[in-house]
Structure 1
Amino acid sequence: MANKAYKFRLYPTQEQEQLLAKTFGCVRFVYNKMLEERIQMYEKFKDDKEALKKQKFPTPAKYKKEFAWLKEVDSLALANVQLNLQKAYQNFFSGRAKFPKFKSRKAKQSYTTNVVNGNIMLLDGYIKLPKLKWVKIKQHREIPSHHTIKSCTISKTKTGKYYVSILTEYERQPVQKEVQAVVGLDFSMNGLFVDSEGKRANYPRFYRQSLEKLAKEQRILSRRKKGSNRWHKQRLKVAKRHEKIANQRKDFLHKKSYELAKQYDCVVIEDLNMKGMSQALHFGKSVADHAWGMFTTFLQYKLEEQGKKLIKIDKWFPSSKTCSCCGQVKESLSLSERIFRCDCGFVADRDWNAAINIKREGLRLLA
């Protein structure tokens, strides 16, 4: 069995918006209460591990007796809070994330509800959701009939738009395709990537393009009195500018990853530490603008759906220092050198040379 999510725009009525705001607030409240009690429990029994193991963690049902207004919202949304907190703790203890933090009103507003006895269904441009009943939806594509709806995540953006992400489950038997067409991709700060064929992605760098307009809107916002009507209007302008940049970036990455997944049977990339690169080389804005991690995520699931492969080679592999013609490895190569020159007489673009070496290393691992 495999999972796939479909995201659509929601258009709730004014009453439904009020109920959504209540649900977002209740979910945040329960999460913070449960986290607070867990921290207090740990502080009390941290010296006695056996007693700590025997303690029962609080559940959302416990708070409904004290706070009756929690009964007004979807109970499944509150039940999922416990699962989310448990997952946050598991990620912390496994070293994948930091210790769970308390949720703020300024954080992303969302909640998840599950399918129980047909409480969620799609019909004629509307979706039925627990407590909300029928909500208008912009369903721009059909969900296949063999997909079973498992859960829905409702979210609200900073610009006041509502979305629903419908998680479906379906039976998939991917047929592994024979690897014939292979390409290597080298991350490029100037255009996202260069492939082993010499082609560039030519990423437009949407954030850099909008930097002046964004700075102007943010300067105006900084002069407004916080909390006033003019401040809220200007905050919305800044949020819309950021949202447009994010949508442009996501659209470009989806299309580019789709092209690669359609054209090649195997794509080879380097397993780069983008956070470390941005901090060490002071390329924070450029690295964030390119969203290499998002691109590789899109590319991976698009390839897997078609039975194709994404190979990640070691980040310490000297792809840039190795000559793709004779195989000689240079002792040093500064970042400012954009043309690769070898003693054997080979001269090529630095990124293209690296992409060829990445492809060859991927073929070696594949073999």
Structure 2
Amino acid sequence: MAGKVVKRAFKYRFYPTAVQADQLARTFGCTRYVYNRALAERSQAWSQEGRRVSYADTSTMLTGWKREAETAWLSEPSKGPLQESLRQLQGAFDKFWRKQARFPQFKRKGRSKESATYFSNCFTFRGGQIRLAKQSEPLDIRGSRPLPEGATPSRVTVSRNARGQYHISILVEDTIPELDRTDRVVGLDAGITSLYTLSTGEKIPNPRHERRDRARLAKAQRVLARKQKESRNRAKARLTVARIHGRIADRRRDYLHTLSTRLVRENQVIAIEDLSVRNMVKNRSLSRAISDAGWSEFRPMLEYKADWYGRRVVAIDRFHPSSKTCSVCGEVVSAMPLDVREWTCRCGVVHDRDVNAARNILAVGLAVAACGDGVRPPRT
């Protein structure tokens, strides 16, 4: 069966030796230092001179930093990850200038995932094993999913999360089999009680992953708050908190992957709302529930899977009154408080608020798909 050739990343857990772990820690530290110093240089140039510093400028700076006696240790790791950190900073500034993100922030040690990216000239791939530059042994990679037959990695990214786990993401070309075209279409209305309500009337339950571990997480955070700063016991307590957060995130990601795959396989067109989750979480009453729902994670999953399988995701304008509009006669009511879950239109139809909204989202989404009108620019 014919298929689409895509760039696809396969992520695996790996277990470094003591020497490899030390080398990776040094590499992570160097990439963080290069990112932060380049950010400082660019920020200073912009604030004091109104001058934009390009990626090429920072690459030249990096060469000079390696020659300085105080930072000669920047020459120890492979040059690839250091150059990639500068590219990532350039991407962060590009998003800032396009008003898609806030001003780039400095990276802090131990507060987020640390990573390093190696391109094909900085690692070797032989016999299914990967050996990073300046390392004598291949990585001990564990995983149940094999790489596509005959695939050659073009890039690998190694990372260490807050739980101390190491992962490697291997980018290869893969052929995605085509799905048979279907006439089924669906609209999705995001919610809290039900994670998503479909225009078919089905309601996807919200597992509330964070609530399941809320008591355990609160206890671990209290223990962490009582530990002396910079102590070993505090580091152990922080690791406990990170592990609980990690389990919650793993369950949420697995649930969203399962749901997004099902919807893409079943439907030719999927209509959703262009939600501004960043603004919605400013509501203190709903911020925890919205963050736990994972709406901002779900949309990218839908979009890249739809692109793989020849489906289409249509995002309608976030200000469309989907909940207040009757999906039968088109009447728009003046107000619809959040506590109103069922309402009766003047035409006599009794609506479930969420199902009605999903049907309106589908109708507008199909109109947008046909006419290309009334939708905000797609995310980049």
TM-score, normalization by structure 2:
0.88
Question: Take 2:259 and 2:234, find their aligned partners in 1: how far apart are those partners?
Answer: 38
Question: Take 2:196 and 2:79, find their aligned partners in 1: how far apart are those partners?
Answer: 46
TM-score, normalization by structure 1:
0.91
Percent pairwise identity? 36
> For the Cα contact (< 8 Å) 2:324–2:335, is it kept in 1?
yes
> Is residue 63 from structure 1 mapped to residue 65 from structure 2 by the alignment?
yes
> For the Cα contact (< 8 Å) 1:268–1:311, is it kept in 2?
yes
Q: Give the one of 3, 12, 34 matched to 1:8.
A: 12
Match of 2:148 in 1: 144
Q: Give the one of 291, 301, 304 matched to 1:288.
A: 291
- Measured after TM superposition, the shift of residue 23 of structure 1 is 0.4
Q: Which structure 2 segments of 5+ residues have no match?
A: 371-380
> Is residue 34 from structure 1 mapped to residue 38 from structure 2 by the alignment?
yes
- Measured after TM superposition, the shift of residue 316 of structure 1 is 1.3
Query: After superposition, where does 1:40-189 map in structure 2 within 5 Å?
Result: 40-42=44-46, 45-46=49-50, 56-57=57-58, 58-66=60-68, 67-105=71-109, 106-116=111-121, 119-121=123-125, 123-124=127-128, 126-132=129-135, 133-145=137-149, 147-169=151-173, 178=181, 180-189=183-192
Q: Give aligned pairs, total.
A: 360
Question: Take 1:281 and 1:365, find their aligned partners in 2: how far apart are those partners?
Answer: 33
Amino acid at match of 1:39: S
> Match of 2:99, SS?
coil
Amino acid at match of 1:244: R
Question: Take 2:207 and 2:147, find their aligned partners in 1: how far apart are those partners?
Answer: 32
> For the Cα contact (< 8 Å) 1:60–1:82, is it kept in 2?
no
Deviates most, 238-247 or 291-300: 291-300
- CA RMSD between the two structures: 2.4
Amino acid at match of 1:70: L
Greater than 3 Å deviation, 4+ residue runs: 39-46, 55-59, 145-148, 169-172, 174-179
Q: CA offsets per residue over residues 180-203 of structure 1, 9 Å max, x none? A: 100111111112110011111112
> For the Cα contact (< 8 Å) 2:148–2:174, is it kept in 1?
no
Question: Take 1:325 and 1:38, find their aligned partners in 2: how far apart are those partners?
Answer: 56
- Measured after TM superposition, the shift of residue 36 of structure 1 is 2.5
Amino acid at match of 2:41: E
Amino acid at match of 2:158: I
> Residues 344 and 43 from structure 1, CA distance in 2 versus in 1: closer, same or farther, beyond 3 angstroms?
closer
Question: Take 2:108 and 2:192, find their aligned partners in 1: how far apart are those partners?
Answer: 34
Q: CA offsets per residue over residues 208-234 of structure 1, 9 Å max, x none? A: 121111111111221222233322222
Q: Give the one of 21, 25, 47 matched to 1:17.
A: 21
> Is residue 329 from structure 1 mapped to residue 332 from structure 2 by the alignment?
yes
Match of 1:255 in 2: 258
Q: Which structure 1 segments of 5+ residues have no match?
A: none
> Residues 262 and 235 from structure 1, CA distance in 2 versus in 1: closer, same or farther, beyond 3 angstroms?
same
Deviates most, 85-94 or 259-268: 85-94
